Chains A and B, each alone.
Chain A
Amino acid sequence: MNSSRREFLRKSCGLCASLAGSAVLLSYLQSCAPLLSLELEPQNNRIQVPLDSFKEGNKVVLVTNKNQEFDIAVVQLEDQKYKALILECTHFSNQLVATKTGFFCNAHGSSFHLDGSVNNAPAQNNLKEYKLIQEENQLIIYL
């Protein structure tokens, strides 16, 4: 009796642990989905980003082109406002690594929140940003 009860508890706990582990793994794998990256050339010092890019839960869209030395992250903030952040670490000017939850510098460990504010030193200044205006179904980045 004791043996079967122990077996039941063992199996139940094992199942719960497996489910919890699977949930964590699933969430982890979901976060591993690539960021949307758009190659957009500037025209008259402006880049137009389709607002559709933020469908399907995208909060961060990378804008890249050959002329820009650093990628631009267009971020949808919680208040439905947008920011165009320059992915250059304000500490030593390294290209930042963009994720869905923030920006990271491999050179000295600085990190930044999605709104561009410093999360961890040694960076002291928030990320610089370009002026961005929403016009109908476009976001216009002014370089």
Chain B
Amino acid sequence: MRTVFVLLCVFVFISMEATSQIITREDSLTAGLIAKDNATVLSGYGSFNYQNNFTTEESKINVDRVVLFVGHKFNKKISFFSELELENARIANGQTEGEFALEQAFLKFDVNKRSYISAGLFIPRIGIINENHLPNTFNGSLRPYVETLIIPATWRELGVGYYTSSKRIPGLNYSIAVINGLNSSGFSNGSGIKEGRYEGSNASASAVAITGALLHYRGALRTQISGYYGGSAGLNSRMADSLQLNSGAFGTPVGMGEINVQYLGNRWQFKGLATLVALPDARAINRAYANNTAEQIFGAYAEVAYNFIKSANRTARVFARYEVLNMNFKLPDNAIYNGTIDQQYLIAGFCFLPISGVIIKADYTYRTSGDVNPALTISPYPQALPYFTQQHQLNVSLGYSF
């Protein structure tokens, strides 16, 4: 009994110590960080998802992600931000489904009240979801497919970025960043440039990329245009020559352009985005790695939503989104057309936020695509599972951020 009491006292003491050092966002970021030059912040977000594909008769339930945010403010000018993400709940016994990764880890140096420099592993300003990926900020259980498959959100790389806003033109922001390039050996036919990201893990610094964005707010309208241009060879000249790839900082280039418009009114909301990825050396990439890379990839979506409940804390809305993406938009002569990645989606559903930090979503997805190209099928039916060009899916999810 005495031992239990002593242990209890130790626990209470440790807890008090802990709370005096680590404070939650509610205590610190919204209040204390102004006054305190030295504070640590703990926060996070996550989502849980149920999917039922009526066509393939498959259903699953999953912890999509749980992300722990840790930030620290050293003084009024310098802060540290990090997001540590666990996807699919666990990584164990050599299974490859889960992922435990740093989503962000960077130092932020405030130049003045309008400008700052980010250095480290950060998310460049490309697309909507990349920067604004908290589950309570987008409609639909799953992130838009265009911003998953073409703009591979959350796309983070190592580098330095400068962010500022115009004093002369209210609402105008611009940013420029230098980050490491991509790895073209990772490009794949089904996921474009996504698997070519280094995400801060032993990235080749031989390939470099420059990205920039212009962002303007006017009333409820938010307009953004962004671009990316960088190398993807990431090899020394000898190795690149042996693969007949162009080496150098911008060798074997990848370019991306993107424009998006959002209207976020009290009742009506609209989002539209279009993006084009260009890989002019796709032919050389295919010759080197045989990964059936396209020369151009295109995607766009438009979404309309209506808030039928909008109070100080509670929001309920219905939405519909149409997405079109073609990952074979333009092929080099040594690539093979794959109809399954020429897709269209119609997603409709509702979102309910009982408080602004928690969201419940339910939506229905109708997906159409081209058919399987027999030239890409190694083991045809009945060895391979049948492919359905039209699919119907129900998604229900729960998300939070605090």
Contact = CB atoms under 8 A, between A and B. Distances in A.
Interface string B118-135: 000000010000011010
Given A108-B131, A122-B356, A95 B113 contact: yes
Given A93-B33, A95-B114, A109 B132 contact: yes
A113 to B, nearest CB: 9
Interface stretch (B95-103, B168-176, B186-194): B168-176
Interface in B218-269: 218-220, 222, 264, 266
Interface string B152-181: 000000000001010111111100000000
A111 B31 CA distance: 18
Number of chain B interface residues as a range: 35 or more
A88 B171 contact: no
A70 B222 CA distance: 23
Contacts of A86: 34
B357 A121 contact: yes
B143 interface: no
Given A109-B137, A124-B355, A99 B170 contact: yes
A92 B34 CA distance: 12
B232 to A, nearest CB: 28
B113 A34 contact: no
B166 to A, nearest CB: 8
B30 A102 contact: no
Interface string B281-315: 00000000000000000000000000000001101
Contact of A106 (B163, B169, B355): B163
Nearest to B169: A32
B169 A70 contact: no
Nearest to B114: A95
A64 interface: yes
Nearest to B265: A119
Contact of B76 (A69, A120, A121, A128): A69
